[in-house]
């Protein structure tokens, strides 16, 4: 008997034991709990029993013993991504949404991502490809891959049937993992994505989309020029997105004082048919657009220039222990206890 696929399973209906519930207090502060019978949610302003939510519909309001009301809803994917344990920095929901849409990642697509980090983008890609598609995620660091597995399994409640995670360099793993010309989409989140244009071109089907997520304008320029020089890709397109919230209270409608500004650049290009060279776009280059010598990149120096702080082994071990403990609780069934302090 095969296990029930978990990848497309979305909890609906009344709250059940084991459900994640996001609680919002009157000041907008969020708390996430996992419902368990006979457990108690405690705050410094009272408590309430989990049993008060079991069997209740989403959108229920529950009050603590001191009368503080909490709105109870299942957390959205974006809520989970911003609160999940992380070893490496995550791709924010605003960029993940752009990647899924602009790369046209659809149910049943065959997708490869390189640079898994903490698994944030993997969640969006798995939601997009569904159980009928495939996502091959390649990560150079085994500890990051383990954290990503834990986060994805925690969100879906188990192993996603479309997901394959492998540890190693993209250039070494990809040729052995897929047939040439069999991949629909490739997403690269790494320091020097231009170094893998050759192996990606071999894997992509004609018309397939390549997306790179880079942090700096120098990376953006290098990737664009190398993609054009390769000759097997269309003219690259690049952009960035910024999100500004709005304050809504009566007639006081104005932009929020803080916004999500630059997180990274996205650049896309598509695979040409074998043996066909993309036509050169006719343009008059601006003075100084092309330097006499190419800029060289060293990954170590580039990481320092980007302000990337090394993730300590101690933090990685702590995050992995936390995710392993969650997996043990999930697979071993709900445990009983007097409370789960917030």
Sequence-distant (6+) residues with CB within 8 A of 174 are 112, 114, 136, 138, 199, 200, 203
Q: CATH 3.10.330.20: which residues of the chain?
A: 16-75
Average pLDDT, integer, range 189-210 = 97
Average pLDDT, integer, range 226-242 = 95
Sequence-distant (6+) residues with CB within 8 A of 104 are 185, 209
Which tens digits make up the pLDDT trace of 138-180? 999 999 999 999 999 989 988 999 999 999 999 999 999 999 9
CA separation for the pair 147, 159 (Å, rounded): 13
Average pLDDT, integer, range 17-25 = 90
Sequence-distant (6+) residues with CB within 8 A of 71 are 23, 24, 59, 60, 61
The sign of the CA dihedral 3, 163, 97, 306 is positive
Average pLDDT, integer, range 243-258 = 92
Q: CATH 3.40.50.150: which residues of the chain?
A: 79-277
Which tens digits make up the pLDDT trace of 265-313? 999 999 999 988 887 776 666 666 666 555 555 666 555 555 556 778 8
69-73 vs 110-114, strand pairing mode: unpaired
**What per-residue confidence (pLDDT) applies to 4?**
40
**What per-residue confidence (pLDDT) applies to 341?**
44
As given in the structure block, the two tokens for residue 32 are 């996430």
Q: Which residue has the tokens 């029930």?
A: 4
Architecture of the structural domain at 16-75 = Roll (3.10)
HEC-encoded secondary structure of the chain: CCCCCCCCCCCCCCCCCCCEEEEECCCCCEEEEECCCCCEEEECCEEEEHHHCCCCCCCEEEECCCCCEEEEECCCHHHHHHHCCCCCCCCCHHHHHHHHHHCCCCCCCEEEEECCCCCHHHHHHHHHHCCCCEEEEEECCHHHHHHHHHHHHHHHCCCCCCEEEEECCHHHHHHHHCCCCCEEEEEECCCCHHHHHHHHHHHEEEEEEEEEEECCHHHHHHHHHHHHHHCCECCCEEECCCEEEEEEECCEEEEEEEEECCCCEEEEEEECCCCCCCCCCCCCCCCCCCCCCCCCCCHHHHHHHCCCCCCCHHHHHHHHHHHHHHHHHHHCCCCCCCCEEC
**What per-residue confidence (pLDDT) applies to 288?**
64
**What per-residue confidence (pLDDT) applies to 285?**
66
The model's pTM: 0.80
Instruction: State which CATH number among 3.40.50.150, 3.40.50.300, 3.30.1330.10, 3.40.50.2000 fits the domain covering 79-277.
Output: 3.40.50.150
CA separation for the pair 89, 255 (Å, rounded): 27
**What per-residue confidence (pLDDT) applies to 143?**
93
């Amino acid at each position: 008997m095969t296990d029930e696929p978990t990848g497309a399973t979305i909890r609906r209906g009344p709250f059940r034991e084991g459900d994640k519930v996001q609680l919002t207090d009157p000041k907008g502060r969020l708390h996430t709990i996992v419902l368990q019978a006979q457990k108690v949610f405690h705050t410094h302003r009272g408590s309430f029993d989990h049993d008060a939510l079991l069997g209740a519909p989403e959108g229920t309001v529950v009050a603590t013993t001191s009368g503080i009301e909490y709105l109870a809803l299942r957390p959205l994917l974006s809520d989970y991504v911003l609160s999940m344990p992380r070893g490496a920095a995550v791709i924010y929901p605003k960029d993940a949404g752009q990647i899924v849409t602009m790369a046209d990642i659809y149910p049943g697509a065959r997708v490869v991502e390189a640079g898994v980090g903490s698994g944030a983008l993997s969640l969006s890609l798995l939601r997009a490809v569904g159980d009928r598609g495939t996502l091959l995620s390649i990560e150079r660091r085994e500890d990051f891959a383990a954290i990503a597995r834990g986060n994805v399994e925690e969100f879906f409640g188990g192993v996603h049937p479309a997901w394959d995670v492998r540890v190693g360099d993209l250039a070494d793993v990809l040729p052995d993992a897929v047939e040439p010309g069999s991949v629909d989409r490739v997403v690269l989140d790494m320091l020097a994505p231009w170094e893998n244009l050759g192996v990606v071109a071999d894997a992509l089907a004609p018309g397939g989309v390549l997306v790179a997520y880079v942090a700096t304008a120098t990376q953006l320029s290098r990737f664009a020029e190398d993609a054009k020089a390769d000759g097997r890709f269309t003219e690259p397109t690049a952009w960035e997105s910024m999100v500004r919230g709005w304050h809504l209270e009566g007639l006081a409608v104005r932009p929020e004082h803080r916004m999500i500004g630059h997180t990274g650049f996205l650049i896309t290009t598509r695979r040409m048919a074998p043996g066909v060279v993309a036509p050169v776009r006719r343009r008059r280059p601006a003075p100084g657009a092309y330097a006499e010598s190419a800029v060289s990149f060293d990954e170590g120096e580039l990481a320092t220039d980007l302000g990337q702080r090394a993730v300590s082994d101690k933090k990685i071990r702590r995050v992995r222990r936390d995710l392993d403990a969650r997996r043990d609780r999930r697979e071993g069934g709900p445990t009983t206890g007097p409370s789960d302090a917030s």
